Structure 1
């Protein structure tokens, strides 16, 4: 890098950035499916017993992002409608779906960086090569010496930038494709456990809500 153009420093920074994103995503996604399955099983068992409070407690104890999705559904399930009416199942489904989409966005956080690095790294390397060749020919014109041997060294150093850009692009694209497929798989697994949770919640809701005391209406304000 010390013998090449400034473009190699940019390419090196892109390589470090791609590795940093890959490590950060690997840590963030590690154990996601297992944790989601564990909290889903615990919540479903509590719902089968009709215990909404225990289901909520299981979610609060879990570190899984899936627990946030279940909490949104449980919060909507205990929210009474007008005049103490039963909770609306459509509103429960909507609350769960909104939170699930938020989790999907968090799963894909920073993955776009890898796609960007994979797209621009070859062009950065090519630009550095073009600038290096221009400088080599400019040096030949300034010294008045001709021949390929005069510019061979400068051109060979300039071509290193193109090779470096291609290498970093391959690295970034491979990691991007792997993470993209992995995130899609995790999103599908999350959707399956959420659908199982909703089915169990809807079945247990009449019994569970009947056992919970309805909120007393607030007294009317005096005029």
Structure 2
């Protein structure tokens, strides 16, 4: 029974390593919130080069690009409609950033319990065997206990880096969300900035 618990812990560790590698690669800022994207949009607006084709292309570049494209698609609408379009798209983008983090958190929680379960099962198995042998040899008891504790150590060993990685990626996602919100606000202000009236002096 203990060996099966150990295999489950190993599979959890492999899944955790896969998630950590994938999220570490995917959550790079250059893929989520590329720099100078709003500046590029401003350049299109100033040169009157913005059209549906550019907006569609922008929406395919990155999560931030999708948010900006949603705002630009409604650029002729009132400010509150542009904000609603951006917020609605943002609600769809955020779960993509948080993808697999729930699984990583689950692994961090269950692996210590799996290790404890393996230890308990190992102890039960050991004492059940000793009851059939009659007198208990201290060396045999010590060896059985140490073997049973291996699963607990394995579970904790998997859980610690999973907890650290989960917290790191959560903080990373929060930082990216704040960055995208700031860029979206820049776009809204850009689309609805009030032109300054030049004052004339009468002589």
TM range (shorter): 0.7 to 0.9
Unpaired runs of 5+ residues, structure 1, are: 79-86, 206-223
In the TM superposition, what is the alpha-carbon distance from 1:22 to its structure 2 partner?
A: 0.7
Query: Is this contact kept in 2: 1:14–1:117, CA < 8 A?
Result: yes
In the TM superposition, what is the alpha-carbon distance from 1:66 to its structure 2 partner?
A: 1.1
**Residue 84 of structure 2 is aligned to residue 94 of structure 1:** yes
Which of the residues 57, 63, 68 maps onto 1:60?
57
**Residue 180 of structure 2 is aligned to residue 190 of structure 1:** yes
Unpaired runs of 5+ residues, structure 2, are: 196-203
Alignment deviations for residues 164-208 of structure 1 (CA, whole Å, 9 cap, x no partner): 011111010011011111111111111111111111112389xxx
In the TM superposition, what is the alpha-carbon distance from 1:34 to its structure 2 partner?
A: 7.5
In the TM superposition, what is the alpha-carbon distance from 1:9 to its structure 2 partner?
A: 0.8
Q: Name the counterpart of 1:156.
A: 146
The 3 A distance-change label for structure 1 pair 92 and 24 is same
In the TM superposition, what is the alpha-carbon distance from 1:99 to its structure 2 partner?
A: 0.7
In the TM superposition, what is the alpha-carbon distance from 1:64 to its structure 2 partner?
A: 1.5
In the TM superposition, what is the alpha-carbon distance from 1:59 to its structure 2 partner?
A: 5.8
Q: Name the counterpart of 1:20.
A: 18
Query: Is this contact kept in 2: 1:118–1:172, CA < 8 A?
Result: yes
- What CA RMSD, in Å, does the superposition of the two structures yield over aligned residues? 2.3
Q: Distance in 2 between matches of 1:76 and 1:34?
A: 22
Q: Distance in 1 between matches of 2:91 and 2:45?
A: 23
